[in-house]
Every structure is written in structure tokens, then in C-alpha cells.
A = this chain, B = another copy of it.
Amino acid sequence: MSASTPKLSLNDDRLFPAEPPARKVARGIYRSVRDLPIISPHGHVPPQWLADDTPFADPTTLLLTPDHYINRLLHANGVDLEHLGVAQGELGEDAARAAFRTFCDHWPDFAGTAMSYWMREQLVGIFGVTVRPSAETADRIYDRIAGQLAEPEFQPRALLDTFGIRFLATTDDPCDDLAVHDRIDREVAITTRVAPTFRPDRYLEPGRPDWPELTRALGDAAGVDTSTLAGFTEAMEIRRRYFKDHGAVSSDHSHADLGTLFLDAAEGERIYALAQRGEASADECLALRRHLFTDQARMACEDGLTMTAHPAVARNHDPDAFARFGADVGADIPLGVEATRGLQPLLAAFGNHPNFTLVLFTIDETVYSRELGPLAGWYRAVHVGVPWWFLDAPDAILRFKSAVTEMAGFSRLSGMIDDTRAFFSIPARHDMSRRLDAAHLARLVVEHRLDEDEALDIAHRLVVEQPAKVFHL
């Protein structure tokens, strides 16, 4: 390694405002929450990792292959996803090393992005890397990480402790028997509470070719005949309760819009029957999906699972990538979303129900000040989820705070949700969140819109009380 190899390090003041009085206040606020445990009420870590506690395979499989934030920008810059191991099964050592080198070589394409921020946190903070990724340094970094992954303290369970994760939610299919979660629960060495999340999206989309089959699978899982809507509804209720009984605190929903409505029983059964035969029109499928989504809110009032909504993504926008690599590889693109009119039927029915909590996420930031803040500032059930996916980056997070908190305050926020499948990035994401909380609150303090002790209270509230309240922990 030459003397001029650029260094990689973490500055204690990262993400804080540059202006000295605000930076000083930010430091104090951050210090007060820095070491609090992590609560992660929604995410995509595979529970199998924790149940099996097998060492992670290699740096590429761990840090690059599953991270569609990284994949997508590499793809845009000409890298084949195959080369990164996406949908390729196990990578051999050579392939893994080559992929890692490619990433390091493309490091400048990530400069200034959230991905480079999180990766730096992991490289320096977890693996002790001290040189900037590049074609020259790639192998050295790879070797360092690979060596550490073989150590016991880098096995999944040990890291749960090291990372200070007190609560971790996974995302699961309604038909899942949750046996893996049961194994984790029975494992006394795991002190983290690992909860499943009920994610019924596919079962609520009557327009899918495989929907009739999915409804039968749901019926089998619930022990109920789902050939009618009434049966389907009962099966959903049974499976939700099964999840609740196995520790779930929320259900998660991602459809193309936030439209809600109630079909009367006859009309619902009529469309359901058509859809079972693949004969429902697109409009009928849409109406039934909206009804089924709205009905999940009714169920939530009864069973108390918090409902999180992640709407309006054009999934699998690139059909060639979808054909080659399947879903969730990075070719999803945001859509505009509308909440005020779309959610009105649902909120008119359940918006102030004492047992209902609805967390609204968006990747269309125009609705923050226009719709989500105002809705959460009135309806008792509604909370605004923190910035998600394409908005999960420092400036976007500060825009979110600015757009929502001036009118809705901090009591209507979800608290931090990392929503990640990149296990090693969880501490970095929560730390970024706490730093930006501090940066935002410090600005309010130096502009004399908030007293410093109030800022400290809010910082704590965002990390501890809000997630506990919103997810009934």
C-alpha cells in the first residue's frame, strides 16, 4: 500500500451542522442518545441467520449481493448483476473477490451518497478498515473482512449483542409457520426479541395470476376453506392472530396506491368469485384489493397489530432484469401517491379507533407537508413513518423533518425504521438517524424555537418512546 493511499476514517462530528454553535448543541444531543439500544420494528433480515448462527460466507455475499441500493447504482454504471452474485446461488472465492474489486473500483460513483456513508461506517466502524476502497486496496480490504467473518464475534448472534439490538422485526409470509422464530425464541442465548411481521401483499392482489393458488395456500395454513370471501377473511384473521401469538407487532402493506373502500358483502363475494376464476376485470380486481386492504385495518382494530403502509412503487420496472434476476433487485421506481382522498374511507371508519395504529411511509416526498403531516396531526391512529428507501439519506431525512414536524410535532412520528436487509448496516442507519435528529433539533435550538432540554427530551422520545408507543412494545 503506497503512502499516498487515501485513508478512510470516521469523524466524530459527521452529519452535524458545520456552524459552531449548532454543532456544539448537536454534539450534546447526540451524546445523550448515542448508546441507547436499537429498536428495529420493521426490516428484512432473514431470521434463519439468527436461528442457525452460522458465520457469514464472504464480504461480497454479506455486503454487496443482497444490497439493492448498491446493486442498482453499479448496474447503472455498467456492472452486470450476475457479476455481483445476484440470483447466482453461492459465489466461489474468486467470483466473490472479483465482485468486491469491482465495487471498490466503482467507489467514486458512490461518493457523496448514503450508500458510501453506510459502507464507510461498516468498513471503519465494524471491520477496522483504514484505507479507501479502490482497485488497489480491494483485495486488502476483502481479506481483512473475510478474516474477521471467520471469528466467533462476527457470527450473527454475537453481533446482535455488539450492535445493541433489543428488538428486531423480520418480514414474513402469512403462511409461514414461524418455526424459525420459535427456534430463536427458545434460544436463551438470544436476548434480542426477534418478532415476525405479517406481510400479506400478494394475497390481497386478485389481479395476480397466482392469486387463486395463494388463497388456497392461505386456506391450508389457516385450516379454513377460502373459496369465498368470507372464508378468506376468516383465514386472514386466523393467520394474523397466529402471527400475533408468535410475537408479531405489525402487519406491512405495499400496494401501488393508497386507495381504500368497503365493498358490501354481496359485491365482495361476487368479485371474489370472479377473481378466483381469473375472470374479474382490472377495475374489479382493484376494487377488491382496496377492500381487502381496508379490511386489514378493521382486523387491526381487533387484534391490535400496527399497520404499516409502504405504497406506490412501480415494481420490476425493467422487465429484462426481472426475467433474469427476479423481484427486489433494484429496478423498482417510485410513483406519485395520494393519501388524502385515498385513505378517507378507511380513516373515516377507523382513524380514531383506540386500538388502531397506522404508520404511513412514502417515497413521494411531496405528501409530507401536504398530506401525511396533516393526517397524522388529526387522526389518532395515523403516524408518519420516517423516510424510506430512496429518501433514506441525510438531506432527504432533514427535508422530511422540516416538512412534518413544524405542524405535526414529534409525537406523530414512528421513530426510526431501518427497513433494511443489510444486517451490518443496521447500526450505521440508526446512528445516522440519531445524528440527524441531533442536527435538526440543534438548529431549532440555535434558532430559539426549542429549548435545549426540550431537544434532549425529543431526541430520547424518537429513539425510545415513539417506537414503543407506535409498535406497542
Contact = CB atoms under 8 A, between A and B. Distances in A.
A317 interface: yes
A378 B18 contact: no
Contacts of A186: none
Contacts of A77: 380, 411
The size bracket of the interface on A is 35 or more
A396 interface: yes
B405 A112 contact: yes
A16 B73 contact: no
Interface string A433-450: 000000001011011111
Contacts of A409: 73, 109-113
Interface stretch (A148-156, A174-182, A302-310, A362-370): A362-370
A113 B448 contact: no
Interface stretch (A93-101, A161-169, A280-288, A344-352): A344-352
A377 interface: yes
Interface stretch (A195-203, A227-235, A387-395): A387-395
Nearest to A451: B6
A369 to B, nearest CB: 6
A264 interface: no
Contacts of A13: 448
B406 A394 contact: yes
A359 interface: no
A195 to B, nearest CB: 26
Given A378-B331, A449-B117, A393 B365 contact: no
Contacts of A380: 75-78
A326 interface: no
A109 B444 CA distance: 15
A340 B348 contact: no
A330 interface: yes
A340 B315 CA distance: 11
What is the count of identical protomers in the complex?
3
Given A333-B340, A347-B317, A405 B370 contact: no
A35 interface: no
A257 interface: no
Contacts of A390: 369-370, 373-374, 407
A306 B348 CA distance: 37
Contacts of A318: 347-348, 351-352, 378-379
Interface in A370-416: 370-371, 373-380, 382, 390-391, 393-396, 399, 402-403, 405-412
A347 B314 CA distance: 13
A117 B317 CA distance: 41
A21 interface: yes
B319 A75 contact: no
Given A340-B314, A369-B365, A411-B77, A113 B447 contact: no
A18 B22 contact: yes
A19 interface: yes
Contacts of A19: 18-19
B111 A375 contact: no
A457 interface: yes
A48 to B, nearest CB: 29
B340 A338 contact: no
A209 interface: no
A454 B117 CA distance: 13
B405 A113 contact: yes
A185 to B, nearest CB: 33
Interface of A: 6, 10-11, 13-19, 21-22, 69, 72-73, 75-78, 108-114, 117, 132, 314, 317-320, 330-331, 333-336, 338, 340-341, 344, 347-348, 351-352, 363-366, 369-371, 373-380, 382, 390-391, 393-396, 399, 402-403, 405-412, 441, 443-444, 446-451, 453-454, 457-458
Given A109-B410, A318-B379, A369-B391, 15 more contacts: A17-B18, A76-B376, A78-B380, A112-B406, A112-B410, A112-B449, A112-B454, A314-B341, A320-B348, A333-B375, A336-B366, A363-B370, A364-B370, A374-B390, A395-B406
10 contacts: A6-B453, A18-B21, A109-B411, A112-B406, A333-B374, A363-B370, A369-B391, A393-B406, A395-B406, A396-B403
